[in-house]
Protein backbone atom coordinates (compact mmCIF):
# COMPACT_ATOMS: atom_id res chain seq x y z
CA UNK A 1 0.00 0.00 0.00
CA UNK A 2 1.35 3.46 -0.81
CA UNK A 3 1.54 6.48 1.47
CA UNK A 4 -1.96 7.57 0.39
CA UNK A 5 -3.57 4.74 2.37
CA UNK A 6 -6.60 5.85 4.36
CA UNK A 7 -7.36 5.00 7.98
CA UNK A 8 -10.69 5.26 9.76
CA UNK A 9 -9.90 5.96 13.40
CA UNK A 10 -12.32 8.84 13.96
CA UNK A 11 -15.36 10.37 12.31
CA UNK A 12 -13.02 13.25 11.46
CA UNK A 13 -11.08 10.94 9.11
CA UNK A 14 -14.07 10.84 6.74
CA UNK A 15 -15.46 14.31 7.38
CA UNK A 16 -15.66 15.08 3.65
CA UNK A 17 -16.91 11.62 2.65
CA UNK A 18 -19.75 11.00 5.11
CA UNK A 19 -22.43 11.44 2.45
CA UNK A 20 -20.53 9.21 0.00
CA UNK A 21 -20.13 6.40 2.53
CA UNK A 22 -23.76 6.76 3.62
CA UNK A 23 -24.84 6.39 -0.02
CA UNK A 24 -22.68 3.26 -0.30
CA UNK A 25 -24.27 1.77 2.82
CA UNK A 26 -27.77 2.42 1.48
CA UNK A 27 -26.80 0.93 -1.88
CA UNK A 28 -25.49 -2.21 -0.23
CA UNK A 29 -28.67 -2.55 1.81
CA UNK A 30 -30.84 -2.09 -1.29
CA UNK A 31 -28.82 -4.59 -3.31
CA UNK A 32 -27.64 -2.01 -5.83
CA UNK A 33 -23.98 -3.00 -5.43
CA UNK A 34 -23.38 -6.63 -6.23
CA UNK A 35 -20.48 -8.91 -7.06
CA UNK A 36 -17.32 -9.61 -5.08
CA UNK A 37 -15.33 -6.34 -5.14
CA UNK A 38 -12.92 -7.44 -2.39
CA UNK A 39 -12.26 -10.91 -3.77
CA UNK A 40 -8.79 -12.15 -2.85
CA UNK A 41 -8.35 -9.62 -0.03
CA UNK A 42 -8.14 -10.41 3.69
CA UNK A 43 -9.05 -8.36 6.76
CA UNK A 44 -7.32 -8.93 10.10
CA UNK A 45 -9.81 -8.31 12.93
CA UNK A 46 -8.07 -7.85 16.29
CA UNK A 47 -10.21 -7.89 19.42
CA UNK A 48 -9.01 -6.72 22.83
CA UNK A 49 -12.65 -6.46 23.96
CA UNK A 50 -15.64 -8.75 23.57
CA UNK A 51 -18.02 -8.09 20.69
CA UNK A 52 -21.23 -9.20 19.03
CA UNK A 53 -22.28 -6.66 16.40
CA UNK A 54 -18.81 -5.40 15.45
CA UNK A 55 -17.37 -8.86 14.99
CA UNK A 56 -20.31 -10.38 13.11
CA UNK A 57 -20.97 -7.35 10.90
CA UNK A 58 -17.34 -7.06 9.80
CA UNK A 59 -16.95 -10.80 9.37
CA UNK A 60 -20.15 -11.25 7.36
CA UNK A 61 -19.58 -8.00 5.48
CA UNK A 62 -16.09 -8.97 4.39
CA UNK A 63 -17.32 -12.42 3.34
CA UNK A 64 -20.23 -10.98 1.33
CA UNK A 65 -17.80 -8.65 -0.47
CA UNK A 66 -15.76 -11.68 -1.49
CA UNK A 67 -12.95 -11.18 1.01
CA UNK A 68 -11.55 -13.26 3.84
CA UNK A 69 -12.08 -12.09 7.46
CA UNK A 70 -9.60 -13.29 10.09
CA UNK A 71 -10.74 -13.18 13.73
CA UNK A 72 -7.74 -12.58 15.99
CA UNK A 73 -8.12 -12.44 19.77
CA UNK A 74 -5.36 -10.23 21.12
CA UNK A 75 -4.81 -12.68 23.99
CA UNK A 76 -3.89 -15.36 21.45
CA UNK A 77 -1.58 -13.12 19.42
CA UNK A 78 2.06 -12.58 20.32
CA UNK A 79 1.21 -8.98 21.23
CA UNK A 80 -0.73 -10.54 24.10
CA UNK A 81 2.58 -11.67 25.59
CA UNK A 82 4.71 -8.65 24.83
CA UNK A 83 5.31 -8.25 21.09
CA UNK A 84 5.19 -4.57 20.17
CA UNK A 85 2.29 -3.01 18.32
CA UNK A 86 4.78 -1.79 15.71
CA UNK A 87 6.04 -5.29 14.94
CA UNK A 88 2.52 -6.72 14.85
CA UNK A 89 1.26 -3.97 12.54
CA UNK A 90 4.20 -4.23 10.16
CA UNK A 91 3.98 -8.02 9.89
CA UNK A 92 0.20 -8.08 9.43
CA UNK A 93 0.56 -5.47 6.68
CA UNK A 94 2.48 -8.07 4.64
CA UNK A 95 -0.40 -10.56 4.95
CA UNK A 96 -3.65 -8.62 4.74
CA UNK A 97 -5.33 -5.74 2.90
CA UNK A 98 -6.63 -4.08 6.05
CA UNK A 99 -6.72 -4.23 9.83
CA UNK A 100 -9.76 -3.65 12.04
CA UNK A 101 -9.02 -3.38 15.75
CA UNK A 102 -11.36 -3.18 18.74
CA UNK A 103 -9.06 -1.79 21.39
CA UNK A 104 -9.04 -0.83 25.04
CA UNK A 105 -7.11 2.38 24.38
CA UNK A 106 -7.49 4.80 21.49
CA UNK A 107 -3.73 5.20 21.49
CA UNK A 108 -3.44 1.57 20.39
CA UNK A 109 -5.27 2.18 17.10
CA UNK A 110 -3.30 5.37 16.53
CA UNK A 111 -0.06 3.42 16.89
CA UNK A 112 -1.36 0.62 14.66
CA UNK A 113 -2.25 3.14 11.96
CA UNK A 114 1.16 4.81 12.25
CA UNK A 115 3.04 1.52 11.80
CA UNK A 116 0.77 -0.35 9.36
CA UNK A 117 1.08 -0.02 5.60
CA UNK A 118 -2.59 -0.93 5.06
CA UNK A 119 -5.80 0.83 6.16
CA UNK A 120 -6.62 0.56 9.87
CA UNK A 121 -10.23 0.73 11.09
CA UNK A 122 -11.32 1.64 14.61
CA UNK A 123 -13.82 -1.02 15.69
CA UNK A 124 -14.19 0.72 19.10
CA UNK A 125 -11.88 2.41 21.57
CA UNK A 126 -12.36 4.27 24.82
CA UNK A 127 -12.56 7.54 22.86
CA UNK A 128 -14.67 6.82 19.77
CA UNK A 129 -16.91 4.28 18.06
CA UNK A 130 -17.10 5.72 14.53
CA UNK A 131 -18.46 2.56 12.87
CA UNK A 132 -21.47 2.72 15.19
CA UNK A 133 -22.08 6.38 14.41
CA UNK A 134 -22.19 5.66 10.67
CA UNK A 135 -24.85 2.98 11.18
CA UNK A 136 -26.73 5.40 13.41
CA UNK A 137 -26.93 8.16 10.83
CA UNK A 138 -27.99 5.62 8.21
CA UNK A 139 -30.85 4.64 10.52
CA UNK A 140 -31.85 8.25 11.18
CA UNK A 141 -31.84 8.98 7.45
CA UNK A 142 -33.99 5.91 6.73
CA UNK A 143 -36.52 6.79 9.41
CA UNK A 144 -36.59 10.58 9.09
CA UNK A 145 -35.47 11.30 5.52
CA UNK A 146 -32.99 14.08 6.34
CA UNK A 147 -30.71 15.47 9.04
CA UNK A 148 -32.67 18.62 9.78
CA UNK A 149 -33.41 17.03 13.13
CA UNK A 150 -32.64 17.09 16.83
CA UNK A 151 -30.91 14.14 18.45
CA UNK A 152 -31.32 13.98 22.21
CA UNK A 153 -28.74 11.80 23.94
CA UNK A 154 -29.01 10.96 27.64
CA UNK A 155 -26.60 8.95 29.78
CA UNK A 156 -22.85 8.50 29.72
CA UNK A 157 -20.68 10.81 27.60
CA UNK A 158 -18.77 7.79 26.31
CA UNK A 159 -17.14 6.72 23.03
CA UNK A 160 -20.47 6.37 21.21
CA UNK A 161 -21.55 9.79 22.44
CA UNK A 162 -18.26 11.34 21.25
CA UNK A 163 -18.68 9.95 17.74
CA UNK A 164 -22.34 10.99 17.58
CA UNK A 165 -21.35 14.49 18.62
CA UNK A 166 -18.80 14.74 15.81
CA UNK A 167 -20.94 13.25 13.07
CA UNK A 168 -23.92 15.42 14.04
CA UNK A 169 -21.74 18.51 13.84
CA UNK A 170 -20.43 17.58 10.39
CA UNK A 171 -23.95 16.86 9.10
CA UNK A 172 -25.43 20.03 10.56
CA UNK A 173 -27.79 18.00 12.75
CA UNK A 174 -28.73 19.40 16.15
CA UNK A 175 -27.61 17.37 19.15
CA UNK A 176 -28.35 17.83 22.84
CA UNK A 177 -26.43 15.69 25.32
CA UNK A 178 -27.41 15.26 28.98
CA UNK A 179 -25.07 13.53 31.40
CA UNK A 180 -24.47 13.64 35.13
CA UNK A 181 -21.89 16.20 36.15
CA UNK A 182 -18.43 14.82 35.51
CA UNK A 183 -19.57 12.37 32.81
CA UNK A 184 -19.74 14.79 29.88
CA UNK A 185 -18.26 13.89 26.47
CA UNK A 186 -14.54 14.37 25.85
CA UNK A 187 -13.69 18.06 26.20
CA UNK A 188 -11.53 18.20 23.07
CA UNK A 189 -14.30 16.59 21.02
CA UNK A 190 -16.86 19.04 22.41
CA UNK A 191 -14.67 21.95 21.34
CA UNK A 192 -13.99 20.37 17.95
CA UNK A 193 -17.70 19.80 17.34
CA UNK A 194 -18.57 23.36 18.34
CA UNK A 195 -15.99 24.72 15.90
CA UNK A 196 -17.40 22.54 13.13
CA UNK A 197 -20.93 23.69 13.97
CA UNK A 198 -20.00 27.28 13.17
CA UNK A 199 -19.73 26.19 9.53
CA UNK A 200 -22.56 23.64 9.37
CA UNK A 201 -25.20 25.26 11.59
CA UNK A 202 -25.50 22.36 14.00
CA UNK A 203 -26.89 23.43 17.38
CA UNK A 204 -24.94 21.72 20.15
CA UNK A 205 -26.04 21.61 23.77
CA UNK A 206 -24.15 19.91 26.59
CA UNK A 207 -26.24 19.87 29.78
CA UNK A 208 -26.92 17.97 32.99
CA UNK A 209 -30.68 18.30 32.45
CA UNK A 210 -32.09 15.16 30.83
CA UNK A 211 -35.46 16.80 30.16
CA UNK A 212 -33.87 19.66 28.28
CA UNK A 213 -31.90 17.25 26.11
CA UNK A 214 -34.88 15.24 24.87
CA UNK A 215 -37.42 18.10 24.66
CA UNK A 216 -38.88 18.13 21.13
CA UNK A 217 -36.22 15.67 19.96
CA UNK A 218 -36.72 13.65 16.78
CA UNK A 219 -34.36 10.97 18.06
CA UNK A 220 -33.82 9.85 21.66
CA UNK A 221 -30.61 7.89 22.15
CA UNK A 222 -28.99 6.21 25.12
CA UNK A 223 -26.27 3.68 25.90
CA UNK A 224 -25.30 1.51 28.84
CA UNK A 225 -24.25 3.34 31.97
CA UNK A 226 -21.45 0.92 32.76
CA UNK A 227 -19.14 0.52 29.78
CA UNK A 228 -16.59 -2.25 29.40
CA UNK A 229 -13.76 -1.40 31.78
CA UNK A 230 -15.87 0.74 34.13
CA UNK A 231 -17.02 -2.12 36.35
CA UNK A 232 -14.91 -1.00 39.35
CA UNK A 233 -17.14 2.05 39.92
CA UNK A 234 -20.36 0.29 39.00
CA UNK A 235 -22.51 1.05 42.05
CA UNK A 236 -21.27 4.63 42.46
CA UNK A 237 -21.91 5.37 38.80
CA UNK A 238 -25.33 3.68 38.70
CA UNK A 239 -26.62 5.86 41.54
CA UNK A 240 -25.56 9.03 39.71
CA UNK A 241 -27.36 7.98 36.54
CA UNK A 242 -30.77 7.01 37.92
CA UNK A 243 -32.63 10.08 36.66
CA UNK A 244 -31.18 9.64 33.16
CA UNK A 245 -33.17 6.50 32.48
CA UNK A 246 -35.19 6.64 29.26
CA UNK A 247 -38.70 5.81 30.42
CA UNK A 248 -42.22 6.64 29.30
CA UNK A 249 -42.25 9.99 31.09
CA UNK A 250 -38.98 11.14 29.55
CA UNK A 251 -39.92 9.89 26.08
CA UNK A 252 -43.13 11.93 26.20
CA UNK A 253 -41.04 15.11 26.14
CA UNK A 254 -39.72 14.24 22.69
CA UNK A 255 -41.78 14.68 19.54
CA UNK A 256 -44.76 12.35 19.14
CA UNK A 257 -43.07 10.61 16.21
CA UNK A 258 -39.63 10.44 17.84
CA UNK A 259 -37.65 7.24 17.44
CA UNK A 260 -35.68 5.53 20.19
CA UNK A 261 -32.12 4.36 19.50
CA UNK A 262 -29.59 2.31 21.45
CA UNK A 263 -26.33 0.88 20.12
CA UNK A 264 -26.76 -2.33 22.15
CA UNK A 265 -26.12 -4.32 24.26
CA UNK A 266 -28.80 -2.87 26.52
CA UNK A 267 -29.61 -3.42 30.18
CA UNK A 268 -33.38 -3.28 30.33
CA UNK A 269 -34.58 -1.62 33.51
CA UNK A 270 -31.37 0.37 33.83
CA UNK A 271 -30.64 2.97 31.12
CA UNK A 272 -33.96 2.21 29.39
CA UNK A 273 -37.20 0.55 30.42
CA UNK A 274 -38.53 -2.48 28.57
CA UNK A 275 -41.65 -0.65 27.36
CA UNK A 276 -39.51 1.80 25.40
CA UNK A 277 -36.78 -0.39 23.93
CA UNK A 278 -39.32 -3.06 22.92
CA UNK A 279 -42.02 -0.55 22.03
CA UNK A 280 -43.29 0.88 18.75
CA UNK A 281 -40.90 3.85 18.72
CA UNK A 282 -37.80 1.70 19.07
CA UNK A 283 -35.63 1.12 15.99
CA UNK A 284 -32.76 -0.65 17.76
CA UNK A 285 -32.92 -3.83 15.66
CA UNK A 286 -32.93 -1.88 12.39
CA UNK A 287 -30.05 0.14 13.82
CA UNK A 288 -28.14 -3.04 14.62
CA UNK A 289 -28.77 -4.42 11.13
CA UNK A 290 -27.32 -1.27 9.62
CA UNK A 291 -23.99 -2.06 11.24
CA UNK A 292 -23.59 -4.68 8.50
CA UNK A 293 -24.34 -2.28 5.65
CA UNK A 294 -22.25 0.54 7.12
CA UNK A 295 -19.34 -1.85 7.66
CA UNK A 296 -19.54 -3.02 4.06
CA UNK A 297 -19.47 0.60 2.92
CA UNK A 298 -16.36 1.30 5.03
CA UNK A 299 -14.59 -1.82 3.75
CA UNK A 300 -15.50 -1.05 0.15
CA UNK A 301 -14.40 2.57 0.48
CA UNK A 302 -11.04 1.80 2.12
CA UNK A 303 -10.02 -1.50 0.52
CA UNK A 304 -11.43 -1.58 -3.01
Could you say which of 53, 129, 262, 293 is catalytic?
Answer: 129
Query: Contact 291/53 with Cβ under 8 angstroms?
Result: yes
φ, ψ at 30 (rounded to 5°)? -85, 0
CA dist., res. 92 & res. 101, Å (int): 12
Q: Kindly state the helix (H) or strand (E) to which residue 77 belongs, with its residue range.
A: none
CA atoms within 13 A on the CB side of 129: 24
Catalytic residue among 263, 287, 293, 295: 263
263 carries an active-site annotation: yes
Query: What is the C-alpha to C-alpha distance for residues 7 and 9, in angstroms, rounded to an integer?
Result: 6
Check 53, 106, 291, 293 and give the catalytic one: 291
223 is catalytic: yes
Is 256 assigned a catalytic role? no
Is there a catalytic annotation at residue 161? no
Q: Is 15 helix (H, G, I), strand (E, B) or coil?
A: coil
How many CB atoms sit inside 10 A of residue 144's CB?
16
**Strands 120-124, 150-154: parallel, antiparallel or unpaired by DSSP?**
unpaired
Q: Of 7, 48, 53, 102, which is the active-site residue?
A: 102
The secondary structure of 98-145, three-state, reads EEEEECCCHHHHHHHHHHCCCCEEEEECCCCCHHHHHHHHHHHHHHHC
Respond yes or no: is residue 102 known to be catalytic.
Answer: yes
CA-based torsion, 62, 51, 127, 140: positive or negative: positive
Out of 7, 138, 223, 245, pick the active-site residue.
Answer: 223
94 catalytic? Reply is no
Given 48, 132, 192, 245, the catalytic residue: 132
| Dihedral angle sign, alpha carbons of residues 104, 105, 109, 112 | negative
* Positions marked catalytic: 102, 129, 132, 223, 263, 291
Amino acid sequence: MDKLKRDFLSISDIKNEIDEILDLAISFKNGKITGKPLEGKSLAMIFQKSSTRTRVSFEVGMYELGGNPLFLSSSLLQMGRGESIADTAKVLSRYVAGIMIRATSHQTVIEFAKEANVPVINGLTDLEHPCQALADIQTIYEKKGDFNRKLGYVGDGNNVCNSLLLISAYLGMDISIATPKGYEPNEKIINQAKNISKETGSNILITNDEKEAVFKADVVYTDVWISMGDEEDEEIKRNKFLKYQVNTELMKLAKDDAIFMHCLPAIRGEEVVTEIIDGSQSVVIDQAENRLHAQKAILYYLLK
